[in-house]
A and B are shown apart, each in its own frame.
Chain A
Amino acid sequence: MRKYIVKRIFISVVILFFVAFIIYALMRCLPTSYIEQVARQRSMAPGSMSYEQWMERLAAQYNMDKGIVVGFFGWFWTFLKGDFGDSWKWTVPVIEKFNDVIWVSFIMGAISFFFELIIAIPLGVIAATKQNSKTDYIISVIALAGISFPTFFFASLLKLVFSVKLGWFDLFGLVGRNYNNLDAWGKVLDMAHHLVLPIITLVVISFGSLMRYTRTNMLEVLNADYIRTARAKGLSERKVIYHHAFRNTLIPIVTIVGGSRPGLFSGALITETLFGINGIGYVSYQSMVGGDIPFSMFYMVFLAVLTLLGNLLADILYAVVDPRVRIA
């Protein structure tokens, strides 16, 4: 087991290396004039550094003056040392800005993940046990509709109904106008209030795939021989489903759910942007559109790391949860 994990980590690092190289090369291949253009624009801003200083700083961090391969090794080394440079747009070190905004995204993701679980898994089980019934159809269509909803359309509808027509929530932002006058508990409530719509959006958009996954796996388990045996023994249907079938369904679910957890940190780009919530998604979106190269690069590599971590976690969980799986 340990040997396997070490091997996987090693492979992950190699993959990360190449991914980082591609991202670095992409940034370098952005027509140089684009980088220069952005640097020039930045230097125009009042009180900003001069154009030469911007370029110099970029060259120092990203070895812009060297060839791509040599430059990449230099950059990778500084990156591994934890030096991510200073953000152009936010004028603070990248890591500091990152630290500012990541937790909102994380909390948002965690809450919506929780709701996703308690909605998707029971619905999936119900749909599978009543396969081909009306309930099954309705649940499946709802799940598919959730998957098919473009985030921005659904968020706009929510805004229209709950913010504009009913006036229950603000259209934008994480805190209300009165935020600074509230006490600590009031501040938390205020934020929670502003997070309701984004979280609903996230849950509706994402619960469908988990529900379908649950349903498929449950169906497979229900067709297994040991379920027939359980029924033949004369166990109550309740016991068959929740005791025998559901537990076995949990194996693949735990795997995939566990594997997707690092994704909690990746932020929800579209949702955050639409609701004006200063999480990692929105901030990185602004950085990318604004040509903030240090921040965008950091964010992309960060996402790559999360994906790799997720894969690794899923594989390990698979072996841990299901004793039948032997890993060589």
Chain B
Amino acid sequence: MKDDNNNKLNPTHLNGVPKRAAEIAVEHNRDKVKAIEEEDRKENNRNKPNEEQYSLNDDRRVKVLSPGALVAKRFFRNRLAVTGMSVLVFMFIFSFLGGVVTPYGEKQIFYRNDITNKEYCSVVTNEEFRYMSNDPLFSGIAQAQAYLAISSDQEQYSYNDVTYDIEKLSDDLYVVSVGGKQVGLAYKDIVNSLSAEVSENDFGFVLAALSAYAKGESSFTANGKTYSLSDGDIKLNGEDVAYISRFIVRSAYPDVVLSKRFKTELQEALETGDEDFLFTEDDGEEYEYSLSYDAYRKSYSVKQGKETRVIDQYSPPGKDHWLGTDGNGMDMLTRLMYGGRVSLIIGFIVVFIESIIGVIFGGISGYFGGWIDNLIMRVVDIFYCIPSTPLLIILGAMMDAYNVDPKIRMLYLMLILGFLGWPGVARLVRGQILSLREQEFMTATEAGGIRISRRIFRHLIPNVIPQLIVTMTMGLGSTIIIEATLSFLGLGVRFPFASWGNIINDVNNTFVLTNYLFIWIPAGVCLLATVLAFNLVGDGLRDAFDPKMKR
């Protein structure tokens, strides 16, 4: 009674398994006996020439099934269980074959070309006087004095005993001369040279061009050549050689020299009010620039869209990546396949370990009884009391602190989970064996003088197997959940290995939770579907093994 009570918190007990242990066994044995009889009858049947001759009430007319086939038949009649089974088959194919079929590797990182906008240059409209000097007399302070004179509308000023005359050609153009000789210019419009034939620093040319521009003339002569001027474009023999404008283009980088063509095209774009501007460099590379006007600084900033190679993070599902890519630029679908492989393998190994230990200890305990039983059951009690989640978390944190290799870590994880899980199996096996060993067939084995180990493992344990299979199937589901939870907390399977849990781990980032559903929903659905399928199959198996439940 006492030990029975101890079972109360046993999860398998929750599902009401061990209760009818004795009945199941009886049923099972009856099935066995029947099966043997049927076998014999079949043998006889083969000798008969014509089967049609059986009379109506001859039970040889009835199709005979082995106990295994009966279980299978009952199982396949259960629609839910079959659904679960097909989900499992799909998951296995998905995880184990998927990894082979997919063109990508588990840890393959993808890159994409991204356009990043970088400040390239700025364009300012010139509002201040610039000065050009033709003579050492008009330098430095003389220019400053000229500015003062211009702003106070004087026509003459003197500096260093030299008298400078100022001739106003327009509001924006002043010519400074000393004794009739033109020594300098103060101007706002800027002459930009486009060809080698003219120079922006050629005083005579600039003076002629600007005066013509100020006066609105359509041609001017400088250095013996005649240039035509229209709308600020200066042409020599119909060819553009220079232009006049107020824009100043400044490069954001000291080492980048802006070509004249770039400046012209940029200016055209600005004048038409475009916001984007495409420019093809001389070497044929095309860049995209975005233009924006900053009213406060009265300048245009020009940003160059530069193609850079970046890790393809969180790219949405598409043709290349059916489920997108994750935060490390890895293909989500492939990660999901490998993750499933890891989750399933861990589940199977853990359940295998705990069943082996559990069956051995449970078998010994149940068969021998007495002090051995007492001892083992107290050990089981102790194991039951050790809080496993905190323990796993502490061990995980410790492995973190020591930077254990992810592969070895996975191994430890399996061992620890397996070692923590065996007491449940041991209890189940013991409970079953306690009732089985009182039955006649065990007395028969004893009378037959069979070895003890053979009696336990060949006669008792096989009778426990149906129960064990049910528990193991359900255990697989819960092990996968535990593993996923640990991985989710970052304490189980670690990067670079994928597991469904650590794929979902990304939702800890609220941005991913909100915007990148394709990252965590598929993994969660896989996890849910697999665990649910294991539970459904376990349920179905239980019903199939235990026909008493189905009336």
Binding site for B on A (CB under 8 A): 14-16, 18-19, 22-23, 26, 30-31, 34, 37-38, 131-132, 137, 140-141, 144-145, 147-153, 156-157, 159-160, 164, 171, 209, 212-213, 216-217, 219-220, 223, 255-256, 259-260, 269-270, 273, 284-285, 288-291, 296, 299-300, 303-304, 307-308, 310-311, 314-315, 318, 325-328
Contacts and interface: CB of A to CB of B under 8 A. Distances in A.
B57 interface: no
A67 B8 CA distance: 37
B340 to A, nearest CB: 14
A288 B477 CA distance: 26
B50 interface: no
B401 A291 contact: yes
A212 B14 contact: yes
Given A15-B385, A260-B9, A300-B387, 4 more contacts: A147-B535, A150-B528, A213-B16, A216-B15
Contacts of B279: none
Interface string B359-384: 00000000000000000001001101
A76 B477 CA distance: 38
Contacts of A299: 387, 390
B382 A300 contact: no
Nearest to B507: A156
A30 B386 CA distance: 16
A148 B532 contact: yes
A289 B393 contact: yes
Interface stretch (B238-246, B257-265, B463-471, B509-517): B509-517
A310 B9 contact: yes
B8 A22 contact: no
A314 B5 contact: yes
Interface of B: 1-2, 5-6, 8-9, 11, 14-16, 19, 80, 378, 381-382, 384-387, 389-391, 393-394, 397-398, 401-402, 477, 481, 484-485, 488-489, 491, 501, 504, 507, 510, 513-514, 517, 520, 524, 527-528, 531-532, 534-536, 539, 549-551
A153 B16 contact: no
Main secondary structure of the interface of A (DSSP, over half): helix
Contacts of A212: 14-16
B15 A213 contact: yes
A288 B402 contact: no
B150 to A, nearest CB: 61
Contact of B394 (A14, A288, A308): A288
A156 B401 contact: no
Contacts of A18: 382
Nearest to B396: A289
**What 3 A-B pairs have minimum CB-CB distances, sorted nearest first?**
A216-B16, A153-B524, A303-B387
A125 B386 CA distance: 34
Contacts of A145: 528, 532
A148 B526 CA distance: 11
A14 B402 CA distance: 35
Contacts of B6: 311, 315
A171 B401 CA distance: 30
Given A148-B477, A150-B524, A288-B390, A141 B382 contact: no
Contact of B488 (A144, A152, A307, A325): A152
Given A19-B385, A213-B15, A150 B531 contact: yes
